[in-house]
Amino acid sequence: MNCLRLTQFPKRCVSTRFPSLDPKLNNTKTPFSSPNSTYTTLNSHTFDTPTISQLIAKQHWSKLKTIVKETNPGSLLQHLFNSEAQPDLILSYFKWTQKELGAIYNVEQFCRLLHLLANAKNYNKIRALLDSFAKHAHYSNSIIFHSLSVLGSWGCANSIIVDMLVWAYVKNGEIDLALEGFDRAGDYGFRLSALSCNPMLISLVKEGRIGVVESVYKEMIRRRIGVNVVTFDVVINGLCKVGKFQKAEDVVEDMKAWGFSPSVITYNTVIDGYCKAGKMYKADALLKEMVAKRIHPNEITFNILIDGFCRDENVTAAKKVFEEMQRQGLQPNVVTYNSLINGLCINGKLDEALGLQDKMSGMGLKPNVVTYNALINGFCKKKMLKEAREMLDDIGKRGLAPNVITFNTLIDAYGKAGRMDDAFSLRGMMLDIGVCPNVSTYNCLIVGFCREGNVKEARKLAKEMEGNGLKADLVTYNILVDALCKKGETRKAVRLLDEMFEVGLNPSHLTYNALIDGYFREGNSTAALNVRTLMEKKGRRANIVTYNVLIKGFCNKGKLEEANRLLNEMLEKGLIPNRTTYEILRDEMMEKGFIPDVDGHLYNVSISS
DNA sequence: CTAGGGTTAG
């Protein structure tokens, strides 16, 4: 139950969180504050360094406490710096006073400690210190970089520190702070390494921020940061995930120019990209290419291909790949079976999928929650909700735990069946057993309400979701926009479009297409065309569905010349009309007494003649 | 350090 609320904390506010570059910060008299103590500064106090060092080394904290109480943590730290005590001991003291006395040090003291550790080559300690720093980030990058550069740099201490700082930000999910550090490192001339940049790239790819990946990559090359195979593979992966295959191939060329050969990982990455983009012929060509280059496909290569063929509705080909991998002496693993089982399920071959589940068990491979989720989805698609629901209980009996995807699949199925009560009781169940609903869970519920035309309830649910700290995503908006447009409330949908821009979401084809369709339904073709202009202005080029919606809109208005002009336009752009295009036009043409030809090029001829 | 499987719009 409370898991939802964990995400409710307000986003940290950068502008108020960081201390300013106040000159007072440099004053040793105000470097710390301790809520429970009333330390006074006694600069004249003299310390016996060897004794203090010993106390720290032997962890005699209580004795140390009495000494610190005579002065304050900051003065003593300063003293330790000046007396060139061992960096390790200063660090121990630093951490102890922070933890036990609530001491807060200024950025100069923090950086000086980092410097001492760097010069002692105590890199693990720096890493750990920065890791805990990144969790709270009390100082901005701006003042850290400034302090480090004021301290000067012996060797490459600053570069190493900054490298580890960026790494620490990434590790703690602070990608934007990491990026800012990356930029500043360039400004200050600190040299970063692949050890921090690669994890940063990996996180950016995971977040889908591929534009940023591209610019960071270019900058890494420009700054001559020691890139490695991982750098290239990660960038290639990011580009493939968003379908930028030409750019991905360019990076493959870059990698060769840097003396690295594409590996099985590189090939798998690109092959997967093509598979997910539905370009199996490309995937196939690359498979042949890698074999010709004596780069042996591994289990993952075959798993990728099996999944790809299944998505391409070519289960026969997928099965052939499954056989082929075994001929090559590679053992199918759980992922292999899951891919094939899922492929069979989404292609309606549930019985075969269940048979394969038995077979994998027979081979000593235990079905996992992914296997069950695929099968539950298979049952749901066949509207066998009872069986799907029973399989949820099965998961528990097998000693496995259903996860958020298990529940989302079932909730969606109930919603599509008009059984919103059952959908909500499943949400209750997941809360009871500690599975956190995510945005997709809400989307499934929201789409359920929309299906029965209850956009009001759907929007209430979206509000509730935001109250639980979950942000509406692109899918949420698309569901609502589409529902409003279909209800004839396109104006309201446009307001949601504005909201998307406000919250920084990039509307997809679906968003615009729904709006164009909505305006056409209301007979407002001018507004529909304005949406089209807007989408192109925002960098979304009309796709096949856009053209279908436009053509349908004009056909319904009886403006066949306009529809025909759009048809020619889509052909000129290399977009191939699909079945829907054909169906939209066929009705119109039949009405006008035209007999359609099966030839795809038919539509080049003038309809209105 | 990097590649593969399961849910939501259509």
What are A341-358's pLDDT values in tens digits?
999 999 999 999 999 999
Q: How far is the CA of A65 from the C1' of B6 (A)?
A: 56
**What distance in Å separates the CA atoms of residue A578 and residue A585, rounded to the nearest whole number?**
11
Cβ A544 to strand B below 7 Å: no
Share of chain A above pLDDT 90, in %: 75
Greater model confidence, A24 or A249: A249
Which residues make Cβ contacts (< 8 Å) with residue A316, sequence separation at least 6?
none
Residues 319-358 of A with CB under 7 A from strand B: 333-336, 338-339, 342, 346
CA distance A222 to A204: 19
d(CA A265, CA A540): 32
pLDDT classification of A153: cutoffs 50, 70, 90 = confident
Nucleotides of B under 7 A from a protein CB: 1-10
For residue A326, give both structure tokens: 């075994």
Lowest pLDDT segment from A49-63, A258-272, A585-599: A585-599
For residue A439, which nucleotide's C1' is closest to its Cα? B8
Band the pLDDT of A591: cuts 50, 70, 90: low
User: What are the backbone dihedrals phi and psi of residue A233, each rounded to the nearest 5 degrees, phi first?
Assistant: -60, -40
Burial class (CB in 10 A: 0-12, 13-18, 19+), A487: middle
* DSSP letters spanning A282-347: HHHHHHHHHHHTT----HHHHHHHHHHHHHTT-HHHHHHHHHHHHHTTPPP-HHHHHHHHHHHHHT
In angstroms, rounded to a whole number, what is the distance separating the alpha carbons of residues A251 and A231?
10
Q: A593 CA to B6 C1', in Å?
A: 49
Q: Which nucleotide is nearest to A263 (CA to C1')?
A: B3
Q: Is the CB of A92 under 7 A from strand B?
A: no
Instruction: Round and report the angstrom distance from CA (A220) to C1' (B1).
Output: 17
More confident residue, A90 or A66: A90
For A563 and B9, how far is CA from C1' in angstroms?
26
Whole-angstrom Cα distance, residue A207 to residue A172? 14
Per-residue pLDDT at A256: 97
Cβ of A301 less than 7 A from strand B? yes
**Which protein residue's Cα is closest to nucleotide B10 at C1'?**
A510
Q: Which residue has the higher pLDDT, A66 or A295?
A: A295
**A279 beta carbon to strand B: under 7 Å:** no
Q: What is the mean pLDDT of chain A?
A: 88
Is the CB of residue A441 less than 8 Å from the CB of residue A476? no
Answer for A199: CB within 7 Å of strand B: yes
- Whether A360 sits with its Cβ under 7 A from any strand B atom: the answer reads no
Does the pLDDT of residue A311 top 50, yes or no? yes
Nucleotide nearest to A408 (CA to C1'): B7
A443: Cβ under 7 Å from strand B?
yes
Which of A372, A422, A418 is closest to A397 using CA atoms? Answer: A372
A254 CA, B7 C1': separation in Å?
37
pLDDT at A152 (0 to 100): 83
The values of phi and psi at residue A295, to 5°, are -100, 110
Is the pLDDT at A433 greater than 70? The verdict is yes
Who wins on pLDDT, A369 or A576?
A369
Which nucleotide, over all strands, has the C1' atom closest to the CA of A440? Answer: B8
Name which of A187-196, A432-441, A548-557, A589-598 the model is least confident about: A589-598
User: What distance in Å separates the CA atoms of residue A533 and residue A408, rounded to the nearest whole number?
Assistant: 36
Q: What is the DSSP string of A388-442?
A: HHHHHHHHHHTT----HHHHHHHHHHHHHTT-HHHHHHHHHHHHHTTPPP-HHHH
Q: Is the CB of A365 under 7 A from strand B?
A: no
CA–C1' gap, A310 and B1, in angstroms: 31
Using the predicted structure, report yes or no on whether residue A105 has a pLDDT greater than 80.
Answer: yes
pLDDT at A49: 66
Q: How distant is C1' of B7 from CA of A441, in Å? A: 8
Total residue count of chain A as it appears in this document: 609
Tell me the H-state helices in A120-244: 123-136, 141-151, 157-171, 175-188, 194-206, 210-222, 229-241
**What CA–CA distance (Å, rounded) separates A24 from A140?**
16
> CB of A237 within 8 A of CB of A205?
yes
Closest protein CA to C1' of nucleotide B2, residue: A230
User: A445-501, pLDDT tens digit by residue?
Assistant: 999 999 999 999 999 999 999 999 999 999 999 999 999 999 999 999 999 999 999
Name the DSSP letter for residue A452: T
Instruction: Compute the distance between CA of residue A159 and CA of residue A6 in angstroms, rounded to an integer.
Output: 36
In the structure, how far is the CA atom of residue A511 from the C1' atom of nucleotide B3, in angstroms?
A: 32
A403 CB contact with strand B at below 7 Å: yes
Instruction: Verify if strand B has an atom below 7 Å from the CB of A265.
Output: yes
The pLDDT of residue A2 is above 50: no
Nearest-angstrom CA–CA distance, A478 and A480: 5
Task: List the single range of A24-33, A160-169, A359-368 with lowest mean pLDDT.
Answer: A24-33
Residue A170, CB, strand B, below 7 Å: no
Q: Is the dihedral of CA A249, A254, A257, A261 positive or negative?
A: negative
Lowest mean pLDDT among A153-167, A272-286, A582-596: A582-596
A453 three-class SS:
coil
Residue A64 pLDDT level (bands cut at 50, 70, 90): confident
> From the CA of A53, how many Å to the C1' of B5?
56
Question: Nearest 5°: CA angle at A44, between A40 and A45?
Answer: 75
Please return the burial class of A569, using the count of CB atoms within 10 Å of its CB with bins 0-12, 13-18 and 19+: middle
Q: Which residues of A205-242 are buried (b: 16+ CB within 10 A; e: fewer)?
A: beeebbebbbebbeebeeeebebbbbbbbbbbbbbbbb
Nucleotide nearest to A337 (CA to C1'): B5
> What's the whole-number mean pLDDT along residues A560-575?
88
Decide: CB of A439 under 7 A of nucleic strand B: yes
What is the CA A276 to C1' B8 distance in angstroms? Answer: 18
Q: How far is CA A252 from CA A222, A229, A249, A275, A298, in A?
A: 17, 10, 5, 18, 20
A440 Cβ within 7 A of any nucleic strand B atom: yes
Which of A155-159, A414-418, A456-460 has the weakest average pLDDT?
A155-159
More confident residue, A56 or A226: A226
- Whether CB of A80 is under 7 Å from strand B: the answer is no
Rounded mean pLDDT, A204-210: 95
* A514 and A482 Cβ atoms separated by less than 8 Å: yes
Q: Which residues contact A321 (CB under 8 A, 6 or more apart)?
A: A302, A305, A306, A309
pLDDT for A59: 80
* Average pLDDT for A15-29: 33
Structural contact between residues A269 and A261, judged by C-beta atoms closer than 8 angstroms? no
- The answer to whether some atom of strand B lies closer than 7 Å to the beta carbon of A165 is no
Structure tokens at A36: 């429970």
User: Can you give the three-state secondary structure of A515-577, one letter per residue?
Assistant: HHHHHHHCCCHHHHHHHHHHHHHCCCCCCHHHHHHHHHHHHHCCCHHHHHHHHHHHHHCCCCC
Give strand letter and number of the nucleotide nearest A381 (CA to C1'): B7
Q: Which of residues 208-247 of A touch strand B (CB under 7 A)?
A: 228-230, 233-234, 237
